[in-house]
Structure 1
Amino acid sequence: MAEFLNKEKLLEWIPKIIETSEKELIIISPYIKISDKIFNLLKQAEKRSVEITLIYKEGELSKKEREKFDEIENLNLLFHSNLHSKCLYNEKYLLVTSMNLYEYSQKHNREMGVLFRRTDDEANGWNDYKKGKDDDSIFQDAIEEIGSILSSSDFEKESFKTKTNKFDISIIKSNKDFAFDRCDLLNTFSKNKKFIVFQDGEEWLCRCDDFVDNVHLIIENNRISIELNFDESRTLNIYERLKTNSYQYDYRIIDCFRMFWTSHKFSPKLYSYTKHKIWDFDQNSKEFLEGYFKGLNEFFKLLKPEIAKTKK
């Protein structure tokens, strides 16, 4: 749940967001004059290999502050001509605030902010709504605005990673961006099968139409839905041959998948069979994806003969 922060709580949370950054940190602050404490926390984040991106207002950075940032190898420094927004953002938290990263503001000004959580780490049990994670739509809207600010900013200093590879920040990727990345990855291993991004309500998913004739495949996070585009009687005939019972633990193991199909009115679903070795691999790895498509092919070896039997 969103939490209102007064000045005292802001002074607790600004350092905490830097400290809890695991891989990436974004700071947007028009005016910057950081305290020794904040500078040391940024240096500690550098030692943890956190990629730091800091955006300030053009013309508002002193030579002294600029020299400080030269000491931080993992820091991207950008400026924006019309910046007035202030926020800190990492994998777990988004803080929108009136406070600049400016020592004077932290000591003398009246400030406030709102904290949003992308994690349940602080929650005391499943029903601790006060410290539970906030709705994902908040972060999708924030990501869009942060991304817009970034794209309209100019670089002053590039991190080592940006210089040697490219500027790529995962925490500002939207669900739509991740779906495009996933489809691109699937397409590198799917040979002639083409996955495309499509929107289903608020979700962005990967879809392959006609994986076999009149059978579409939809990847929905941790499961696969199989759409059979046949008339009801034909679908029912296929279902009768392949169905599983409507009990929670009744499923059919097909290579690396568990198949559930409890009604011909619904699509067959494939879930991970976690005892299979491929689920120990990183899901972006060659080993995983080759095994994943092998499992899909095994499923269609079972399905295709049943489709052929029901042809009129």
Structure 2
Amino acid sequence: MAEFLNKKKLLEWIPKIIETAEKELIIISPYIQVSEKIFSLLKDAEKRGVEITLIYKEGELSDKERNKFNEIENLNLLYHSNLHSKCLYNEKYLMITSMNLYEYSQRHNREMGILFRRTDESTNWDDYRNSRDDDSVFQDAIEEIQSIINSAEFEKESFETKTIGFEMSIIKSNKDLAIEKCNLLNKFSKNKKFTAFQDGEDWLCRCDDFVDGVDLILEGHRISLKLNFEENRIEEIFNNLNTTKYYKNEDYRIVDCFRMFWTYHKSSPTLYSYSSHNLWDYDFDSKEFLQGYFNGLNEFFKLLKLEIQKTKK
């Protein structure tokens, strides 16, 4: 649930967002003069392995502040000629505010802001309003933050940027993530090519004609299949593969690393993870997972293609 922040709450949440950053932290503030407390928290974040990106307005950073930030090795420092936006953003929270990261503002000015949550997890901050906000808010914010970063100029590169290049996961849109996933799948799918597509507000991966007449759509670990045949033919295939008959109180069929559900011929066959299979212990982007994943798909399609062949007229 989005939460309005007055000045008192802003002063509570600025350090919280720095402290709750796990891997990445973005701070956008035209004017910057950090307190010793905030500087100490940024140093602590660096020790935890957090990559920090800080963007200020060109010409508005003192040498004293610049020297402070030079002490933080894993900090990207950028400047923007027309910057007036102010926000703090990590994996869990986005705060948009009128307050600069400037001691004078924090002591003397009337300020306000709003906090958005990207997680349902409870925190150690007695955060009772812990339901996530609409993802569309974050997608719009990511687009604007990415635009600001694109049009800014580097002054100082973090250690990670120097060694592997500048890349931050928290500013990747759902479209970016879907494209990345498709590219990863395509490395292991041989001739079967996945593309990203938008379904409502979601971005998913699909492979048309994974086998002739059958499209495959990935929705997280769930796989939906679309059979592009006449209804009577689909019903005939369904009659041989359906999972409406219970076996030991289970209404699914195990095929390698998947559980297959298909309970109505006008719906689509759906594959879910079979959690007892050791494949699901691996990370999705690992070679072991992707090889096993496509092996499991091949085993399932052996069954499906056999039934498709039987219904040819």
Count of aligned pairs: 309
Between the aligned residues of both structures, percent identity stands at: 75
Structure 2 unaligned spans of 5+ = none
Equivalent position amino acid for 2:71 in 1: E
Q: For residue 105 of structure 1, give the secondary structure of its aligned residue in structure 2.
A: helix
Write the distance in 1 (CA, Å) between the matches of 2:269 and 2:307.
14
Write the distance in 1 (CA, Å) between the matches of 2:250 and 2:28.
49
Aligned to 1:203: 202
Aligned to 1:80: 80
Aligned to 2:262: 261
Which structure 2 residues correspond to residues 1-312 of structure 1 after superposition, within 5 A? 1-122=1-122, 130-245=129-244, 249-312=250-313
Contact 1:179 1:197 in 2 (8 A): yes
Write the distance in 2 (CA, Å) between the matches of 1:182 and 1:80.
32
Contact 2:122 2:128 in 1 (8 A): no
Shift in Å, 1:249: 3.8
TM-score, normalised via structure 2 length: 0.96
Q: For residue 131 of structure 1, give the secondary structure of its aligned residue in structure 2.
A: coil
Equivalent position amino acid for 1:44 in 2: D
- Per-residue CA deviation, residues 179-213 of structure 1 (Å, 9 max, x unaligned), is 00000000000011000011111111000011111
Q: For residue 18 of structure 1, give the secondary structure of its aligned residue in structure 2.
A: helix
Write the distance in 2 (CA, Å) between the matches of 1:129 and 1:201.
30
Shift in Å, 1:274: 0.5
Shift in Å, 1:246: 7.6
TM-score, normalised via structure 1 length: 0.97
Q: For residue 167 of structure 1, give the secondary structure of its aligned residue in structure 2.
A: coil
Write the distance in 2 (CA, Å) between the matches of 1:18 and 1:246.
53
Contact 1:123 1:132 in 2 (8 A): no
Q: For residue 119 of structure 1, give the secondary structure of its aligned residue in structure 2.
A: coil
Superposed CA RMSD: 1.4
Write the distance in 1 (CA, Å) between the matches of 2:146 and 2:122.
27
